[in-house]
């Protein structure tokens, strides 16, 4: 019975198109669940923190230059869409990044290799690793290779750039009051699922779930926004 070999960090580096020291790439792939089971070795969280800032800078600069006539508020919405957990997770899936992430047994059992939160965090950690290894110019080129398709489509997302803001604006226009969110969480820390509901004029008009509260709220806001549109039809 043949066993499929686990893909190696070297194969990932080749797919990424950037040279990285194997040690820093392995660090970028090390989720806290694996680090804990391995006796407390370093995790990718510091690299993720760094990569998040680099990603934000590069995306902001690109949007600023590409859309010179847009106000700050619209640029902020577009940036949020480009660097969102959902968007980065899709980038990770195109790279089959889940096959390379080092996860603990619990996370592996609960499908951690395909969780939006873990995938997006690992993308940011890899960006941090590229920045540390090569500096800002190479990191900028690398980030563009990952998110340029998102930058191109962001302008056409409309209300979907930020469902919560769009819902608030739509509710105000129709005198429905300020949207009120209620959220709860279930499951252990490593597999927590949030459920959010949004009320308009006291009535629940949208429900959403996600691995982070903010994502559950965005999904609930989208549902409520579409409910408003159906009332106008």
Active site residue 124: yes
Active site residue 21: no
Taking residue 180's Cβ as centre, other Cβ atoms within 10 Å add up to 12
Backbone angles phi, psi at 125, to 5 degrees: -65, -40
Distance CA 22, CA 27 (A): 9
Q: Which two tokens stand for residue 153?
A: 């489509």
Catalytic residue (choose from 116, 124, 162, 217): 124
State yes or no: 124 annotated in a binding site.
yes
Sheet with 180-186, strands from edge to edge, namely 180-186, 193-200, 203-210
Q: Which two tokens stand for residue 5?
A: 């070999």
Catalytic residue (choose from 52, 116, 162, 217): 52
**Residues designated catalytic:** 52, 124
Specify binding-site residues for Mg(2+). Answer: 48, 121, 124
Specify binding-site residues. Answer: 48, 121, 124
């Amino acid at each position: 019975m043949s066993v499929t070999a686990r893909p190696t960090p070297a194969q990932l580096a080749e797919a990424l198109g950037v040279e990285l020291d194997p040690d820093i790439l392995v660090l970028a792939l090390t989720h806290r669940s694996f680090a804990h089971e391995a006796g407390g070795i370093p995790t990718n969280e510091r690299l993720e923190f760094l990569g998040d800032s680099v990603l934000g800078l590069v995306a902001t600069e690109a949007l600023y230059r590409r859309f010179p006539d847009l106000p700050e508020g619209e640029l902020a919405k577009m940036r949020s869409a480009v660097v969102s957990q959902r968007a980065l997770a899709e980038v990770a899936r195109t790279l089959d990044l889940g096959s390379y992430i080092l996860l603990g047994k619990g996370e592996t059992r609960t499908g951690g290799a395909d969780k939006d939160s873990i995938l997006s965090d690992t993308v940011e950690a890899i960006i941090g690793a590229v920045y540390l290894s090569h500096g800002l110019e190479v990191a900028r080129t690398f980030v563009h290779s990952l998110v340029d398709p998102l930058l191109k489509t962001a302008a056409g997302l409309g209300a979907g750039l930020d469902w919560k803001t769009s819902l608030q604006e739509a509710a105000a226009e129709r005198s429905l009051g300020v949207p009120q969110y209620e959220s709860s969480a279930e499951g252990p820390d490593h597999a927590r699922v949030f459920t959010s509901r949004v009320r308009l004029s006291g009535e629940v008009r949208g429900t959403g779930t996600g691995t982070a509260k903010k994502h559950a709220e965005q999904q609930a806001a989208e549902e409520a926004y579409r409910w408003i549109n159906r009332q106008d039809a």
